[in-house]
Amino acid sequence: MNARAATSDMQVNIEAARRRRARIAEEQRVNKMVRVLVTPEGAALHLKLATAAERAGAFAMDVAIQWAIVIATLLGIGFAASAMGFRNWNVAFAFWLVFYFFIRNFYYIFFEIGRKAATPGKRALGLRVASRDGDRLTANAVLARNFTREIEVGLPIQFLLMSGDQLSAWMALFGLAWSGVFLFFPIFNKDKLRVGDLIAGTWVIRAPKVQLMGDISQVVASTPRSSMYAFTPEQADAYGIHELHVLEDVLRQSTAEIKSQVATRIRTKIGWASQTGETDIGFLEAYYAALRRRLEQRMLMGDRKTDKFDVRR
């Protein structure tokens, strides 16, 4: 009886050890894709990079969407031309080729240069493009990373489809191997960057949910507010949702020194004069609550301020 119980305990311990090893291995795998980015506000953000499989999946979705658009457009042009009795199909096909050119070359630019910085495929998988230095994604970076796509994807396909004599076949094989370096480049670097990402200074990250988190606001709301922290609407409008999340990270996990530096920068930005008895943590909590309330008020009116650079009214 004791031997059976000992055997059972040993099996339980072995299973527990196996699960612990699997959990540690998974944590190590996940941590390999996490990068720490220090923002201009002085807060350290932990960003999770997209894996090569996620990027490939998003790209496959975008290609499918592109082909669906161009095929539907071709069928629509053909139907419209037939209904109107149009006989010059070459002209209609030329219009379609121009449309295909724009879809192929500007599809990614159009979506990534927008506020969400993500194509439909990336949005479906919860990804977005971001600048590696923490600044706002610029149009130049988006153009640079997408104009290299023809070399990374289009060139290998062209070499693959080449046909002819033996010399041409060898040249096509050499060209395919050479261009394949660009195609499979994300697999062989730890940040899963394309060549276009290296040139543009960007990377693809897991997009955080754009929502106003609740736990810190509840703590701040339950804290008695002092009359010394009375911010004007103009002062609360100095920042947006991005800075709200940065400030939340500062309040959550930063050191007292970083809190002091961030408080100083915010005071300078909004023109706030420190008052007697004011503390850095008290100021940050009060401004967090005021900024959150202001952003919620604007969002109720359909006015979503993304960050401090968004100056639309």
pLDDT, tens digit (0-9, with 9 covering 90-100), for 3-37: 665 565 566 566 656 666 666 665 555 567 777 76
86 & 202 share domain:
yes
If one counts the domains in the chain, the total is 3
Q: Identify the band that residue 59 occupies on the pLDDT scale cut at 50, 70 and 90.
A: very high
Nearest Cα residue to 246 out of 204, 273, 271, 213: 213
Judged against a pLDDT cut of 90, whether residue 86 lies above it is answered with no
Question: CA 299, 46, 239: angle at the middle one, nearest 5?
Answer: 30
Q: Percent of the chain, pLDDT > 90?
A: 11
Q: Are residues 62 and 196 in the same domain?
A: yes
Same domain membership, residue 88 and residue 12: no
Cross-strand partners of 34: 48
The Cα–Cα gap between 73 and 100 comes to 9
How much is the mean pLDDT over the chain? 78
Residues 88 and 137 in one domain: yes
Q: Three-state SS for 193?
A: coil
The answer to whether residues 15 and 139 belong to one domain is no
Query: Which pair of tokens denotes residue 84?
Result: 């109107």
pLDDT greater than 70 at residue 285: yes
| For residues 53-67, average pLDDT | 92
Q: Which of 115, 109, 116, 129 is closest to 50 using CA atoms?
A: 129
Range of the domain at 267: 215-300
pLDDT bracket for residue 213 (50, 70, 90) = very low
Co-location of 69 and 202 in the same domain: yes
Instruction: Report, as an integer, the average pLDDT of 91-102.
Output: 84
- Whether 58 shows a pLDDT value over 70: the answer reads yes
Mean pLDDT of 253-259: 80
Please state, in angstroms and rounded to a whole number, the distance separating the CA atoms of residues 128 and 279. 37
CB neighbour list of residue 191: distance below 8 Å, 6 or more residues apart: 35, 49, 197, 203
Contact of 306 with 246, CB cutoff 8 Å: no
Cα–Cα distance between 313 and 297 in angstroms, integer? Answer: 13
Domain presence at residue 79? yes
Phi-psi region of 215 (alpha: psi -120 to 50; beta: other; left: phi over 0): alpha
Higher per-residue pLDDT: 6 or 90: 90
The pLDDT, as a whole number, for residue 75 is: 87
In the chain, the percentage of residues whose pLDDT exceeds 70 is: 74
- Same domain? For 115 and 223 the reply is no
Its pTM surpasses 0.85: no
Integer-rounded Cα radius of gyration of the chain: 27
Q: How far apart are CA 289 and CA 216, in angstroms?
A: 9
Q: Find the range with the poorest average confidence among 22-31, 56-65, 120-129.
A: 22-31
Residue-level pLDDT at 210: 46
Confidence label for 40 from pLDDT (cuts 50, 70 and 90): low
212 pLDDT above the threshold of 90? no
Note whether residue 306 is domain-resident: no
CA distance 25 to 11: 21
Q: How confident is the model at residue 64 (pLDDT cuts 50, 70, 90)?
A: very high
